[in-house]
Amino acid sequence: NLTHEKETRPVQQNLRFQGQYLDRETGLHYNLYRFYDPDIGKFISGDPISIRGGINLYQYAPNPISWIDPLGLKPCARDIDGLRTGPNKTVVRVKTKKDAQELLDAAFPGAQKVKGIGSQDAIGVRKKNKMDQFKRNDGKVRYRKDYPIDSKTGRVYGHDDPKGNGHGSLPHINIKRADGTLVRIDITG
């Protein structure tokens, strides 16, 4: 019944989280096109795809440290994919305006905001101009937030629902993808 104590020595491990490679000389983590500084939690050079990766060119995105969701309440890949590739009139439901904004930002970073109707019921030329601005086909992703509810009708301002499809019964974000497809985030809470 012999026992042997096994001697071990430390092994230098240069691979870091998310496939980064540790440059021991600088202490930075290499990510193919730029370096990440783990001490400050950001890249030290701008994103090579510019603002298409988001407005903060130095963020670590998606950040697997802060992008955690143990309860499953945050935007998920399925919802993001539904907005990005789903058919016309795809609707994704979330509980809060904050959740809706997070989902919008995750699915379409850098999307262009177009003013919605707001708390005043737009009619005639004013309503048509807002719709034309939103639906412009120039290859850009556009969105508009329709949040305010008319206390008289219980519906979002400017949404009388003549087709009876329920659009406008909840606050929502309308999104026109770059290919012209219209999708929506409904806010249920």
pLDDT tens for each residue of 136-166: 777 889 898 888 888 888 888 777 766 666 6
Same domain, 92 and 177: yes
Per-residue pLDDT tens digits for 110-143: 898 887 655 555 555 555 666 666 777 778 898 9
Please indicate whether residue 56 or residue 173 has the higher confidence score (pLDDT): 173
Separation CA 119–CA 187 (nearest Å): 17
pTM score above 0.85: no
Domain residue limits at 95:
77-187
Same domain, 104 and 166: yes
Whether the CA torsion 57, 58, 64, 68 is positive or negative: it is: negative
Question: How many domains would you assign to the chain?
Answer: 2
Same domain, 59 and 92: no
Same domain, 23 and 91: no
Same domain, 88 and 163: yes
Separation CA 170–CA 154 (nearest Å): 9
User: Which of 35, 68, 101 is at the close of a domain?
Assistant: 68
Residue 106 in 3-state DSSP? helix
Whole-number Cα distances in Å, 186 to 80, 96, 110, 118, 159:
14, 9, 20, 16, 14
Residue (of 184, 189, 162, 155) closest to 172 by Cα position: 184
Please indicate whether residue 28 or residue 75 has the higher confidence score (pLDDT): 28
Same domain, 94 and 177: yes
Per-residue pLDDT tens digits for 69-126: 555 555 566 688 889 999 998 999 988 899 899 899 989 988 988 876 555 555 555 5
Same domain, 10 and 84: no
